[in-house]
Structure 1
Amino acid sequence: MILDKVKRLDIVFESPEVDSPPVFSSGDVVSGKVLLELSAATRLQSLKLHAEGFAKVHWTESRSAGSSTAYTQNYSDEVEYLNHREVLLQPDTGDTTVLHAGKHEFPFSFQLPEETLVTSFEGKYGSIRYWVKVKLHRPWVPVRKIKKEFTVIEPIDINTPALLAPQAGTKDKMARVWYRNYGQVSVTAKIDRKGYTPGEVIPVFAEFDNATSRSVVPKAYITQTQTFVARGTMKQKRSVVATLSGDTVGARCRGTWHGRAIKIPPVGPSILQCRIIKVEYLLKVSVSVPGTSKLSLELPLVMGTIPLHPFGSRTSSVSSQYGVNLEWLRMTVSEQPEPPPDYSTVVSGAEVEQNVRPLPDEEDFSGMLGRPFSTYVREFRLRPPPVYSEVDPNPQAYNMRRRCMTC
């Protein structure tokens, strides 16, 4: 029986934060050290490091070949993103070198590819993984191996014109049960932008027009769709990550959402650049009509990693450059308007005396009809406005928009 003299073989990554696993992105330098502890002097042939990164998919499907026979079809594919090899220990002369008993450290460092990598991911039918593998070769002893994974997150900045653009849409359908029509249902919805980060709240603006004879229930969902592709075949897994329920909209009535909030839970970022694995998100605004199929309006979402910058000149310039109409987003209009400036601060007394002529005497009114109309305009151009008041002196009845068509 051969006594193994290796007490410990481990890989330790350097991390800027203590007790926190490191996270990398394309172009970053991955560094660390291999820890080797020996119980006695040992001859070693080599110590090699291999860094790899792959996107892999795999699933099986049962196929029927007749009434009594069936077979299983395998689907698999992979894409390589990282392949780096490095020798940490190589004998200078001869086939082996001797290391004394005790602890030894072998530092390593390599740079990730500059081109865009893909975010680490674990799914039902596939995964995207990155790891460092170390092999210790000794004479007459099986190779000792150790592997440790690390995380790659490719940044997605939502502060781009494409992801700051508002998303909106309209959809309608005729509610039918067998041969009977119950009427039409329509949904109009919009959100302020396409890109969000986990933890944010999405304000949903929507209008539900129910022209049917039945009550409907509006809802909103955030869904995640994982797509796996292999050998021209696609496999998908859909899940709902957040929900929002609204109030019932009665028959032949209209309901509105003025910024109903739906919060994004902790989910992974979107994966859109991988050939065989994609992770996509949607906001679905739907209406459930009893007895018939659901009406759903889908608005695309992108889950980013870099949150929205404070609203300011940068966003304004982006929106103006691309002609985005953000009027419907301005929800902070003050309920109490500011009073206008005092008349004396706008027009001085000297201007009033110079431009405003006194009214003619009563006996001169007979000749005023012969004067040009512009004369009267000049006379009243600088007249003081009425005294400002927050209470309307001449209130008028408002014609409020009715919610129900039958009211």
Structure 2
Amino acid sequence: MVVGLLMSIVLENERKNGYCAGEFVSGQVILELLEDTEVVGLHLHAHGGAIASFTPWRGGEGNQSTSSPGECVKYLNEEITLVAKSAGEMHIFPAGKHKLQFTFQLPAGPLVTTFTGRYGKVQYQILTVLERPSVPDLSVRRELRVTSRVDVNSPSLLTPVERSKELTVGCWFFTSGPISLSAKIGRKGYCNGEVIPIYAEIENGSSRLIVPKAAIYQTQSFIVHGKMKTHRQMLASVRGNHIASGSTETWNGKMLKIPSVTPTILDCHIIRVEYFLAVYIHIPGAHKLVVELPLVIGTVPFNGFTYRNASVASQFTVDMSWLALALPEQPEAPPNYADIVSEEDLSWSAPSVTEQTELTEGLHFPPFDVIQEFRFQPPPLYSEIDPHPDNIREGTPLFTLQE
């Protein structure tokens, strides 16, 4: 900062989690001048990418403790000129406050999430350079946070994850029995702040008192010139009750909340950030019995509509356009009943001539018996032509039945 001059960068549409690939970044470069100032040029440079080195970063941020050759990948490189440099011409900015608007679009391709780890980082920033005559250039930097879109509703992240393992505790011939562990979670993808219900069955066939636990771990992987280093850390944990010898324990949705962490990073070839849920048994005097369930921390929350439901619903999506082609423009009269019922059926079902008294007595028979006498009887003939067009009266139907 120079006496009499203050420059800053303000982003207008920045959200809490930053920007995503393909979005527009809008803002202002603000100049506050105490006196008239000559300006040669004003330029804005948005750049960033990933850098990895096996020299640890101090506290996970800042400069490296010692210089070391590493690898870097560039993801963003945009330049905007706000005040152009003109030959033989000087721009005079009067004293006061000046706002210079800028807008640029982030690349639509892979744009890795902002991240700072033990052996590397992914960082983006906006650099503004003010050029003036006879004085050094004034530059101001501002961090540009980027978040890669990871949708936990994708089919591969909605499938349940389950693992099982068994361990026999003892030494040589003095074994005390097996300890079995089976753990399951409902899906693979979750977001920050969500609670993971854990389902587990633990059977203690040993003679020792064991304790079941669960924890979320983050694994950072850094690849430099073909070599890899990893760093693993626990983020959150939960503990169960002690399980005595010969007893079993069941977790019916034991809750473990995901803290605020960096989303999973898999689209960078020199830095990877992965997560897993470890369900393990602490056994005194023996190694832990551990099962690891992979997790993906996303940015698009779960919408409650699983892929299985979506696939079932898609089976009932029917194209009804054929129906319009099948319907005739003019409706046709129904077919003659005699044309679709054989003479044999008609003769077989024809009722015999009965006296009036017999018919009257038949009305007292059960309804089913009476109905059977009218099977396969032809309905009256159908006609769309009125046989008495001149004798139309109010209440007379337009279509009549010929006796």
Describe the SS at the equivalent of 2:68.
strand
Distance 1:269 1:4, change over 3 A: closer
- Distance 1:157-1:278 versus aligned 2 partners, 3 A rule: same
Identify the residue that residue 128 of structure 2 maps to in structure 1. Answer: 134
Instruction: Give the letter aligned to residue 253 of structure 2.
Output: G
What residue in structure 2 maps to residue 98 of structure 1?
92
Selected match of 1:42 from 14, 37, 45: 37
Aligned residue in 2 for 1:253: 247
> 2:156 aligns to what SS in structure 1?
helix
Which residue number corresponds to residue 306 of structure 1?
Answer: 300
C-alpha distance 145-292 of structure 1, shift in aligned 2 (>3 A) = same
Q: Among residues 52, 57, 61, which one is paired with 2:52 in the alignment?
A: 57
Q: Render the CA deviation track for 1:35-58: whole Å, top value 9, x for unaligned.
A: 112222222221111100111123
The worse-fitting range, judged by mean Cα deviation, of 5-14 and 111-120 is 5-14
* Counterpart for residue 24 of structure 1: 19
CA shift in 2, pair 1:45/1:149, >3 Å: same
1:33 is aligned, of 28, 31, 38, to 28
Residue number in structure 2 paired with 1:77: 71
Q: Quick one: structure 1 residues 88 and 40, their matched pair in 2 at CA, closer, same or farther if it must change by over 3 Å?
A: same
1:141-180 equivalences in 2 (<5 Å): 141-177=135-171, 180=174
Task: Give the conservation status (yes or no) of the 8 Å contact 1:56–1:126.
Answer: yes
Q: Structure 1: how far apart are the matches of 2:178 and 2:225?
A: 43
SS in 1 for 2:304: coil
In 2: Cα distance, 1:240 partner to 1:49 partner: 40
Match of 1:7 in 2: 5
Equivalent position of 1:86 in the other structure: 80
* Counterpart AA for 2:43: K
**TM-score normalised by structure 2 residue count:** 0.71
* One-letter amino acid of the structure 1 residue matched with residue 131 of structure 2: H
Q: CA deviation at 1:178?
A: 6.2
**CA apart distance, 1:173:** 2.1
Write out aligned runs for 1:206-285 (5 A): 206-285=200-279
Equivalent residue number for residue 289 of structure 1: 283
Deviation at 1:269, TM superposition (A): 1.3
Distance 1:260 1:101 in 2: 64
Equivalent positions of 1:345-360 (< 5 A) are none
* Cα pair 2:17 2:147 within 8 Å, conserved: no
- Aligned position for 2:119: 125
Q: How many residues align?
A: 310
Give the AA of the match of 1:228: F
Q: Output the CA distance in 1 between the equivalents of 2:188 and 2:367.
A: 59
Residue 219 of structure 2 contacts residue 273 of structure 2 at CA under 8 Å; is this kept in 1? yes
Specify the alignment match of 2:363 in structure 1. Answer: none
Q: CA deviation at 1:237?
A: 2.0
Give the superposition deviation at 1:320: 9.1
Between the aligned partners of 1:12 and 1:238, the Cα distance in structure 2 is 36
Once the 2 structures are TM-superposed, how far is the Cα of residue 168 of structure 1 from its aligned partner? 0.5
- Match of 1:141, SS state, is coil
Pair 1:317-2:317 in alignment: no
- Unpaired runs of 5+ residues, structure 2, are 57-65, 315-365, 370-403
**Whole-angstrom distance in 1 between the partners of 2:239 and 2:155:** 31
Classify 1:169/1:5 alpha carbon distance in 2 versus 1 (closer, same or farther; 3 Å): closer
Relative distance call for 1:73 and 1:133 in structure 2 (3 A) is closer
1:130/1:165 Cα in 2 relative to 1: closer, same or farther (>3 Å)?
A: same
Which residue identity does 2:223 align to in structure 1?
V
Go from structure 1 to structure 2 and tell me whether the alpha carbon gap of 1:82 and 1:6 turns closer, same or farther (over 3 Å shift).
farther
Q: Output the CA distance in 1 between the equivalents of 2:94 and 2:212.
A: 73
Give 1:101-112 correspondences, 5 Å limit: 101-112=95-106
Letter of the 1:25 counterpart: C
Question: 2 CA distance for matches of 1:320 and 1:290?
Answer: 51
| Structure number having the greater strand percentage | 1
Equivalent-residue separation in structure 2 for 1:22 and 1:100 (angstroms): 37
User: Are residues 169 and 21 of structure 1, via their aligned partners in 2, closer, same or farther at CA, if it must alter by over 3 Å?
Assistant: closer
Measure the CA separation in 2 of the matches of 1:75 and 1:319: 53
Q: Which moved more, 1:267-276 or 1:26-35?
A: 267-276
Q: Which amino acid aligns with 1:317?
A: A
Q: Distance in 2 between matches of 1:179 and 1:76?
A: 52
What SS does structure 1 have at the residue aligned with 2:310?
Answer: helix
Distance change >3 Å, CA 21–CA 242, structure 1 → 2: closer
